[in-house]
Amino acid sequence: MIYTCTLNPSVDYLVQADQIKLGDLNRAQNVSFFPGGKGINVSRVLRNLDIDSIALGFLGGFTGDFIRNELNKEGISNDFIYVEEPTRINVKLKTKEETEINGVGSYISEIKQEELLQKFQSFTSDDYVVLAGSLPASVSTQFYEALTNQCSQNGSHLIVDTSGESLKNLLKYQPFLVKPNHHELGEILNRTLTSLDEVIASGKELLRKGPQNIIVSMGGDGAVFINNSLTAVATVPKGEVVSTVGSGDSTVAGFLAEYVKSGDFLKAFQYGVASGTATAFSNDLCNKSRVEEVLPKVKIELLDKEMTS
């Protein structure tokens, strides 16, 4: 089974307008509400790709009820732990540019954290676990480590999609997959990456710190896949980018959807990049038909079959 875990979910409130003037009355042209959070996005895309998953994490209040109800409507199994404070609302203002205002996460007590950790104890080596997104202010990075360590003890395939110190601290547990973008990769290694060669070299350096597989996303410039056996680069088709929200999460979901079926890293990489690209070309998260339309346009170049140190 695939499990996704979102510790700091949100209701994403998308507001579209011609322009926004601060200090003045503004009127929206269109508004939409979506269940948000990186792990939740992964579950939603997996459902669109006909792959089952179970969404975990913390929800609370009327906003938490909205997320649960929307996931139920979409046929996504979920087993959230409920807390007293409402789940946050993230506002996304779309004019000619995208502006985001992220709400403050709910308070998560140590008792509630322990409840989630107990759920992780039941995972097995047959399971894939996606840990994605930011931490609420009330939860320390040590909790991410506790969840990761539990997956390591169980032999579960852990996919980590977070950044900064949280990601740094988890590399030693040898996660199955990490997916930084090139900015996040540079941040981890304290450098600025300006070329494909620098991204590849830095990805190989990161690989030596523990993760088994790495996808480095580079937006419209494609992506890089690296493990101890191969290095590959994906080139993406040109198109109108409608929104980049959820594109990285779609890449993770697409990769998993293909990998659990075929066990082929290159096919999974191509399908993941196609999924991320399809979401960037859409108003919401990608659907299967859109992914399969983009898939043959994603070109994979295998650079080497054995990584040198």
Pairing verdict, β 231-235 and 77-78: unpaired
Number of H helices, E strands in the chain: 10, 15
SS3 annotation, 48-70: HCCCCCEEEEEEEHHHHHHHHHH
Rounded to whole angstroms, the Cα distance separating 104 from 45 reads: 25
DSSP code of residue 178: E
Of 234, 173, 232, 168, residue with least CA distance to 206: 168
Nearest to 78 by CA among 9, 22, 151, 156: 9
The active-site residue, picked from 12, 127, 161, 249, is: 249
Whether 50 sits among the annotated catalytic residues: the reply is no
Q: Is the dihedral of CA 196, 269, 272, 191 positive or negative?
A: negative
Question: What is residue 301's three-state secondary structure?
Answer: strand
Do residues 145 and 165 touch, judged by C-beta distance below 8 A? no
- Phi, psi (degrees; rounded to nearest 5) at 53: -150, 170
Q: How many residues does the chain have?
A: 309
- Give 194-238 as a DSSP string: -SHHHHHHHHHHHHTTS-SEEEEE-GGG-EEEEESS-EEEEEPPP
Q: Which residues are catalytic?
A: 249
